[in-house]
With several copies, the nearest count.
Chain A
Amino acid sequence: MTNSFAVAVAVARKDLIAEWRTRELVPALAQFVILALVIANFGFQIDSRNAPSIAPGVLWLALVFAGLVAFGRAFAAEREQASLEALMMTPASPVAIFAGKALAATLLLIGCEAVLLPALALFFGTPLSVQVVAAVLLATIGMAALGCLFAAMVARVRARELLLPLLTLPLWIPFIVAGGQAVQVAMGATGNYDQAMALLVDFDILFVVLTSLAARFVLDE
């Protein structure tokens, strides 16, 4: 058997190198996120009064769509090149391969968040505090685990662009609810920030564990 840790790192490294060479994902995702803000603005007629109540919703919508694209892309690319089968034909552990891909996708998504959060602060005048960043990052972990799991699953299925949101979104709801609450509180609404964060941590642990157990069945088929 090969060293699982080395495999995960190699897979993540390969994905990040490919992204760096082609610079496909991050710049466009970042601009896309800003555009989502612009569209949201037109849809909602935001003024300074209601911005703090709408900003969290927009944040989560943008994050959800950026995440769907980032995770979907991670496995779709392997599928298009038929390289997923080649990966699976090695003795490397499917869980390690999965972890590597999830790691790369998560780092890319965090790259987008590094654009999204300041943009949100700039355009909606909401505070960009440590609490907001912490809540978003915590939610990202669990969302990434789930998103990659289903992305791996749908990559081998027809109509993956469509099945992915369908499978992923329902299970992301806990993160959107808890994360949304945490961000709203951090932006000035009343509520219990610590409780929401604790919930996020619980869900993170639950889904990361479940995902690493399930990864084997999804990939090795």
Chain B
Amino acid sequence: MSIIVANGLTHWFGKEVALESVDLAIDAGEHMAVLGENGSGKTTLLRILATAARPTSGRLEIMGLDALRERRRLRQRIGYVAHAPGLYPALSAAENLEFFCTLQGVSRTRAVEALALVGLAPVASRPAGLLSRGMQQRLAIARAILHDPKLLVLDEPDASLGSDGAELLAAVMLDRTVVLATHDHALANRLCQRTLTLRHGRSVGTATRLHVVR
């Protein structure tokens, strides 16, 4: 069964087209990597899939719901990691997660588990503003899985992770449907069964794992 069905997703920024009639169908449990050069429209596509932005035109159905209308309902089941971590610098790592637990309506023990999963337990009480770039990225990843979402949308989550980043992502992606934008073809190949390549906002081909291997 398809979790995401998108038809003709198009996004214009003023007179520039960032995404042009992209069609997609992603099955439950599938991991799809979105590849493409800088400025090819990956972030634009992912923001739309995460319901953080609305396409200029096109239809999008996620888990059987119209993604343009039922955003709040969907957000319970979607986890999104954006370019910017979006944390509260004055609150500690643990407090950041606990706060988002409340907003997600899940138990606070999830915060402890998530912290441990991303390897931030030793700095749990350090203010988020003082964490290094990679640690902030880990915290953002932890936040995205607090509510155990069915669908994960990850925008270059590997960008600043250390060498254990691939394992961490694999653990996080386990048993979830995932859309992952990355520039690291090896990583895409390792973590995802399918790839979608964008060029100038258009899909220039999808491939399953075997074809991607260089």
Please report A residues at the B interface, Cβ cutoff 8 Å.
1-3, 6-7, 10-11, 14, 17-18, 21-22, 81-93, 97, 220
Q: A2-B102, A2-B104 are in contact. Are A89 and B52 (CB under 8 A)?
A: yes
| Distance of A84 Cα from B82 Cα, bound (Å) | 12
Looking at the complex, which one of A10, A21, A81, A86 makes contact with B143 (CB distance below 8 Å)?
A86
Complex contact A6–B88 (CB within 8 A): no
Interface CB pairs A-B, < 8 A, 9:
A3-B105, A17-B95, A81-B89, A83-B86, A83-B87, A86-B100, A86-B143, A90-B103, A97-B103
| Distance of A97 Cα from B127 Cα, bound (Å) | 22
Please report B residues at the A interface, Cβ cutoff 8 Å.
50-52, 71-73, 75-76, 78, 80, 82, 84-91, 95, 99-100, 102-105, 127, 143, 147
Looking at the complex, which one of A7, A83, A91 makes contact with B88 (CB distance below 8 Å)?
A83
Q: Which residue of A lies closest to B146 (CB)?
A: A90
Complex contact A90–B86 (CB within 8 A): no
Complex contact B76–A91 (CB within 8 A): yes
Q: A3-B105, A6-B102, A18-B91 are in contact. Are A85 and B72 (CB under 8 A)?
A: no
Point out the residues of chain A lying under 8 angstroms from B88, CB to CB.
14, 18, 81, 83
Complex contact A91–B105 (CB within 8 A): yes
Complex contact B99–A10 (CB within 8 A): yes
Looking at the complex, which one of B52, B71, B100, B105 makes contact with A85 (CB distance below 8 Å)?
B52
Q: A1-B105, A90-B100, A91-B76 are in contact. Are A21 and B90 (CB under 8 A)?
A: yes
Q: Which residue of B lies closest to A13 (CB)?
A: B99
Point out the residues of chain A lying under 8 angstroms from B102, CB to CB.
2, 6-7, 10
| Distance of A103 Cα from B184 Cα, bound (Å) | 45
Q: List the 10 closest pairs (A to B, CB-CB), nearest first.
A: A2-B105, A82-B84, A86-B86, A10-B102, A18-B90, A82-B86, A90-B103, A91-B76, A92-B103, A83-B86
CB distance from B193 to the nearest CB of A (A): 26
Point out the residues of chain B lying under 8 angstroms from A7, CB to CB.
102-103
